[in-house]
């Protein structure tokens, strides 16, 4: 596994632990639809939450949230629609972003609820 993939996996693991601690129910991790992927699919009460996780090390220049581009949003929304149809889900859906920045063994995790909405 490449160092960046290891950082991404570690960030996703921390995000899942964080969400479980908030009482979310994790329904899927790394769910794939073709080339598109949903990092975390969870339930927060009666709301379906699609979570994009972005992890970086402190020596990178941009904030991890800046990697969630309009194209990335379209991919996430398309994959979410496929997940919802496949599992016949009839719930309100929210799109969150969790960022994790690693500072050696320490890290900073931020949770952005309703980070984006489907683009027209």
pLDDT digits (tens, 9 = 90+) for 9-23: 999 999 999 999 999
Confirm if 28 and 50 have CB atoms less than 8 A apart.
no
Does position 65 have pLDDT exceeding 90, yes or no? no
CA–CA distances in Å: residue 77 to residues 4, 9, 32, 42, 102: 24, 21, 13, 15, 27
**Residues 77, 62: Cα–Cα separation, whole Å:** 23
119 domain-assigned: no
34 domain-assigned: yes
Full domain range(s) for residue 11: 3-112
61 or 38: which carries more pLDDT confidence? 38
Q: DSSP states of 27-46 as a string? A: EEEEEEETTEEEEEEEEETT
Strands 106-112 and 25-33: unpaired
Does position 120 have pLDDT exceeding 80, yes or no? no
Number of domains in the chain: 1
CATH of the domain at 105: 3.40.1350.10
Residues 37-47, mean pLDDT to the nearest whole number: 97
25 domain-assigned: yes
Q: How many residues does the chain have?
A: 120
108 domain-assigned: yes
117 domain-assigned: no
Does position 3 have pLDDT exceeding 90, yes or no? no
Residues 77-102, mean pLDDT to the nearest whole number: 96
87 domain-assigned: yes
CB-based burial label for 111 (10 Å; 0-12, 13-18, 19+): middle
Q: Mean pLDDT for the chain? A: 93
């Amino acid at each position: 596994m490449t160092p960046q993939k290891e950082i991404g996996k570690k960030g996703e693991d921390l995000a899942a632990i964080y969400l479980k601690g908030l009482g979310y129910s994790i329904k899927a991790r790394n769910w794939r639809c073709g080339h598109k992927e949903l990092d975390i699919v969870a339930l927060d009460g009666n709301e379906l939450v699609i979570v994009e996780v972005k992890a970086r090390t402190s020596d990178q220049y941009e904030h991890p949230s800046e990697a969630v581009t309009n194209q990335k949003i379209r991919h996430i929304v398309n994959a979410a629609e496929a997940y919802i149809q496949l599992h016949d889900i009839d719930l309100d859906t929210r799109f969150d972003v969790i960022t994790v920045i690693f500072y050696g063994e320490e890290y900073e995790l931020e949770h952005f609820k309703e980070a984006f909405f489907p683009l027209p």
